[in-house]
Chain A
Amino acid sequence: MPERSDSKAEAARRLSSVLIVDDEPKIRSALRQALEREVGTIFEASNGRDAISIAEQKRPAVVIIDLGLPDMEGIDVCRTIRAWSSVPILVLSARTEDQEKASLLEAGADDYVTKPFSTVELRARVRAAVRRSQMAPVPGTDAPIVIGDLVIDTARRVVTSAGADVHLTPTEWGLLRVLVANAGKPVTHERLFHAVWGQAEGDVQLYLRVYVAHLRRKLEGDSYRPRLILTEPGVGYRFELPA
């Protein structure tokens, strides 16, 4: 559905520049049409080498990259750009590449969109990625997050729901902190586990599933319809900040 928002808010959201990397000219054109209302300048690259050099010279605010490129693997382009830049990277993947999503995130990608994507979703992901990159980089120094009547104050380690304290165990806190610090972006199971439990031995899946369920039951109204801690099938979890 088309978005109708007032022009002032739109202007404020307007991105300076986006780099689109895809070897299919028609996909590049479709992406350009989807984003041109929101973005000042759109750069295009049809291969990995051009993508890396444009990213270096033009410093785009966001990079959107297709996994299948003629000269190099998309994942290697992610890794190369991430080595010197913190620019948000959004990957376009086919559904057949489900298994690769986690490794893409590990390689430095921020998010992924499955082809064929919806324009609305693509814009939302691009905006979320940019917003995240503009947030305070040090976790714990953010202002309290207010979602409805839920307040999460990671600096003071306090969560209140409709004014009442919600008690969280140390493990639940650890988990929530990592998720909030990466708000809006999928965090892989491995990363979550190591951030919370360190190098501990154990079934990563078991610990995560159980503690995420605990957290959801304390923070969400309906644990079957989570609004905050979303499941990314086969990848991990995403803490969703209401727009």
Chain B
Amino acid sequence: MDALSTAGVGPSTTRIQRWVIAFVVLAALTGAMLVVRADLDKAHVALLYLLVVLIGSSIDGSALGLTLAGSAFLLFDFLFLPPYNTLGLTNPLDWLVLGSFLVTSVVASQLLAHAQRRTEEARARTSEVERFSTLGAETLNAADPVEALVAIAEVIRATLSVDSCDIYVHRGKEADLELLAHAAAPKAIRSASTVGRASGLLAWVGGRKEMAVERKDGTVSVGAAAEDAGAGARNESHSGWFLSWGDIADARAIAIPLTVQGRSVGVLRVANEPHVDLAPGQRAFLNALSYYAALGVERLQLTADASHTATLRDMDRLKNALLAAVSHDLRTPLTTVKALAHAIVERGASPGDSNAISIEEEADRLTSLITDLLDYSRLTGGALQLVPQIESADDLIGAALAAARGILESRSVRVTDDESTVMLLGHFDFVHSVRALVNLIENAAKYSAPGTPLEIGVHREGAQLVISVSDRGAGVGAEDRERIFQPFYRAAGVAGVAGVASAAHGVGLGLAIARGLATAQGGDVTYEARPGGGSVFSLLLPAAEQPPLAE
């Protein structure tokens, strides 16, 4: 009962000092009373001795009180009850006085000690509540969640007076545990090997969500909590660990799983030499704090997730800015190269002519590659700006054919539409939809032999406008029908088709961009094998009704 003994006298005094002080007071009082013995009544002596007993039991508990009561009893008899200086008594009624004094002293000192113990317990509870609330606030407010965990570990270590308290968290794979917060008393020297040896056990605790005790003799007890506590109940409330945990008298370390809503987030380990000694109140405290620690770990993981997401977003933004800048800056030299190559071609017939023509063509190719990369980066980075408006299929197809003029060259393209419909309207972004359709036309031209005709069809299917591009190329194998829409994918084996290989350049972004642009505005790009050989790629866009217009 060390904690109770400090009441009344400063905490700096030792127990021996307090006893000495008590007996000095007793001796001084006895001496003073001896001087005036003739004038004193028995009641005065009894009351003054009772006072000393009460003071004694208040400064050092009932043990001192009882000792003082015994001493005072003897002094009372020996010095103040006639015949003096003997233990015998003249008046038998004095035995009654002495007996009453002794009983009163003992009862009073016991009552006082009990009351003080109650007060002390209340004070301890108050400070525990304060510590909890402080810890709660720290856990929630600490700018850095790791610091919060370190604070929790330190509070646990200090409150339980153990050598160390460690908090391990799951990282990556479920079984991997990483030491995140370590609080150790200055006297504790913990070798890495101890922790290393325990790591298998810690992983077990985290995985099974059950307590484990490392005993002094090197053995380990596990799973007792599971035997006693009702299944599932542990996950609902976090009050059950120690209630079902019986004997931890020879424990050197205890490992407690940290769970939030039944999910294991980490492991808390307290260790002490020679053994972990936890009173029931301290067990409850550790119980509650382990839940705080679990919440702290979860907060850490959420914060890490959030900052990871933010980092990814920042990287995306940077990537887009970089690509945009690069593509813009590449246009300047490309413009120069193209114009100068053209000037060389025009200047007249010299052996360099064909080279200059190649240079101009390559500059165009480079331009289209840069355009693809930029568009793709915009699509994936969410930087695409769409302006959906009422548009006509006529205009869309016309603009796409005009833009693809260079690729189509002399190839014949037949456009078939639904004759019964006057005009097909849709609600889409014109510029980006033209780009999607041009990519489909380019793709068809690229993967079918030159001179073979292309067909473009347009019709309405429910709420969608369907613009199809059909070719008589090699088609796409069943296994590749989704893969062709993946970025940087280029159909293998196409190079074998006569006359196609040389045209099939590019980075393989055309279809991915087309589908991305279409889906971004509620449409899609689909593939179908064409009866009789070849492919049909369809651009689907949201259709719009044509309201009657006043002339």
Q: Is the interface of B mostly helix, strand, loop or mixed?
A: helix
- Assess whether A223 is in contact with B431, with CB atoms less than 8 Å apart: no
A30 to B363, CA, bound (A): 14
- Assess whether B425 is in contact with A209, with CB atoms less than 8 Å apart: yes
Q: Which of B331, B337, B364, B394 contacts A223 (CB 8 A)?
A: B394
Residues from chain A with Cβ under 8 Å of B332 in the complex: 24, 26-27, 115
Residues from chain B with Cβ under 8 Å of A53 in the complex: none
Residues from chain A with Cβ under 8 Å of B346 in the complex: 2, 37, 119
- The reply to whether the CB of A199 lies closer than 8 angstroms to some CB of chain B is no
Count of chain A to chain B residue pairs whose CB atoms are closer than 8 Å in the complex: 116
- Assess whether B335 is in contact with A115, with CB atoms less than 8 Å apart: yes
- The reply to whether the CB of B283 lies closer than 8 angstroms to some CB of chain A is no
- Assess whether B328 is in contact with A213, with CB atoms less than 8 Å apart: no
- The reply to whether the CB of B339 lies closer than 8 angstroms to some CB of chain A is yes
Q: List 16 A-B contacts (CB under 8 A).
A: A2-B346, A30-B335, A33-B343, A37-B346, A95-B331, A96-B327, A96-B328, A116-B334, A119-B338, A119-B339, A205-B391, A222-B415, A223-B398, A224-B401, A226-B398, A234-B431
For residue A235, give the distance in angstroms from its CB to the closest CB of chain B.
Answer: 9
- Assess whether B331 is in contact with A207, with CB atoms less than 8 Å apart: no
- The reply to whether the CB of B340 lies closer than 8 angstroms to some CB of chain A is yes
- Assess whether B395 is in contact with A99, with CB atoms less than 8 Å apart: no
| B460-482 interface with A by 8 A CB criterion | none
- The reply to whether the CB of A225 lies closer than 8 angstroms to some CB of chain B is yes
A169 to B550, CA, bound (A): 11
Residues from chain B with Cβ under 8 Å of A209 in the complex: 390-392, 394-395, 425
- Assess whether A116 is in contact with B363, with CB atoms less than 8 Å apart: yes
For residue B511, give the distance in angstroms from its CB to the closest CB of chain A.
Answer: 20
- Assess whether B551 is in contact with A224, with CB atoms less than 8 Å apart: no
| Interface flags, A151-194, vs B, CB<8A=1, else 0 | 00000000000000000011100000000000000000000000
- The reply to whether the CB of A203 lies closer than 8 angstroms to some CB of chain B is yes
Name B340's closest neighbour in chain A (CB-CB): A30
| A214-237 interface with B by 8 A CB criterion | 216, 222-226, 230-231, 233-234
A39 to B23, CA, bound (A): 123
For residue A148, give the distance in angstroms from its CB to the closest CB of chain B.
Answer: 19
For residue B10, give the distance in angstroms from its CB to the closest CB of chain A.
Answer: 79
- The reply to whether the CB of A243 lies closer than 8 angstroms to some CB of chain B is no
For residue B330, give the distance in angstroms from its CB to the closest CB of chain A.
Answer: 9
A37 to B343, CA, bound (A): 10
Q: Which of A96, A223, A230 contacts B402 (CB 8 A)?
A: A230
Residues from chain B with Cβ under 8 Å of A99 in the complex: 385, 387
| Interface flags, A109-151, vs B, CB<8A=1, else 0 | 0000001111110000000000000000000000000000000
Name B425's closest neighbour in chain A (CB-CB): A209
A170 to B550, CA, bound (A): 11
- Assess whether A26 is in contact with B401, with CB atoms less than 8 Å apart: no
- The reply to whether the CB of A210 lies closer than 8 angstroms to some CB of chain B is yes
Closest CB pairs A-B (n = 7): A30-B339, A116-B335, A234-B431, A209-B392, A119-B342, A205-B389, A206-B390
Q: Which of A26, A37, A224 contacts B398 (CB 8 A)?
A: A224
- The reply to whether the CB of A212 lies closer than 8 angstroms to some CB of chain B is yes
For residue A122, give the distance in angstroms from its CB to the closest CB of chain B.
Answer: 8
A213 to B402, CA, bound (A): 16
A233 to B374, CA, bound (A): 19
- The reply to whether the CB of A52 lies closer than 8 angstroms to some CB of chain B is no
On A, residues with C-beta under 8 Å from B are 2, 24, 26-27, 29-31, 33-34, 37, 94-96, 98-99, 115-120, 169-171, 203, 205-207, 209-210, 212-213, 216, 222-226, 230-231, 233-234
- Assess whether B398 is in contact with A33, with CB atoms less than 8 Å apart: no
For residue B533, give the distance in angstroms from its CB to the closest CB of chain A.
Answer: 25
For residue B343, give the distance in angstroms from its CB to the closest CB of chain A.
Answer: 4
| Interface flags, B168-186, vs A, CB<8A=1, else 0 | 0000000000000000000
Name B374's closest neighbour in chain A (CB-CB): A96
- Assess whether B345 is in contact with A2, with CB atoms less than 8 Å apart: yes
A116 to B340, CA, bound (A): 12
Given contacts A2-B345, A2-B346, contact A210 B549 (CB under 8 A): yes
Name A35's closest neighbour in chain B (CB-CB): B339
- Assess whether A231 is in contact with B398, with CB atoms less than 8 Å apart: yes
For residue A229, give the distance in angstroms from its CB to the closest CB of chain B.
Answer: 9
Residues from chain A with Cβ under 8 Å of B399 in the complex: 231, 233
A135 to B486, CA, bound (A): 52
| With A210-B546, A233-B403 already in contact, 17 other A-B pairs whose C-beta atoms are closer than 8 Å | A24-B332, A27-B336, A29-B336, A37-B346, A94-B328, A99-B385, A99-B387, A115-B331, A115-B334, A117-B338, A119-B346, A169-B551, A170-B551, A210-B549, A223-B394, A224-B401, A231-B395
Residues from chain A with Cβ under 8 Å of B334 in the complex: 115-116
Name B549's closest neighbour in chain A (CB-CB): A210
Name B456's closest neighbour in chain A (CB-CB): A224
- The reply to whether the CB of B367 lies closer than 8 angstroms to some CB of chain A is yes
For residue A160, give the distance in angstroms from its CB to the closest CB of chain B.
Answer: 22
- Assess whether B367 is in contact with A116, with CB atoms less than 8 Å apart: yes
A206 to B547, CA, bound (A): 9
Residues from chain A with Cβ under 8 Å of B339 in the complex: 30-31, 33-34, 116-117, 119
Name B363's closest neighbour in chain A (CB-CB): A116
| Interface flags, B308-338, vs A, CB<8A=1, else 0 | 0000000000000000100110011111111
Residues from chain B with Cβ under 8 Å of A115 in the complex: 331-332, 334-335
- The reply to whether the CB of B397 lies closer than 8 angstroms to some CB of chain A is yes
- Assess whether A116 is in contact with B430, with CB atoms less than 8 Å apart: no
Name B547's closest neighbour in chain A (CB-CB): A206
For residue B437, give the distance in angstroms from its CB to the closest CB of chain A.
Answer: 11
| B400-429 interface with A by 8 A CB criterion | 401-403, 415, 423, 425
For residue B355, give the distance in angstroms from its CB to the closest CB of chain A.
Answer: 15
The residue among B364, B374, B431, B456 with the most chain A CB atoms within 10 A of its own CB is B431
For residue A135, give the distance in angstroms from its CB to the closest CB of chain B.
Answer: 25
A2 to B348, CA, bound (A): 10
Residues from chain B with Cβ under 8 Å of A119 in the complex: 338-339, 342-343, 346
- Assess whether A27 is in contact with B335, with CB atoms less than 8 Å apart: yes
- The reply to whether the CB of B268 lies closer than 8 angstroms to some CB of chain A is no
Name A23's closest neighbour in chain B (CB-CB): B332
A99 to B423, CA, bound (A): 27
- The reply to whether the CB of B434 lies closer than 8 angstroms to some CB of chain A is yes
Name B435's closest neighbour in chain A (CB-CB): A233
Q: Which of B335, B423, B431 contacts A233 (CB 8 A)?
A: B431
Given contacts A30-B336, A30-B339, A206-B547, contact A98 B390 (CB under 8 A): no
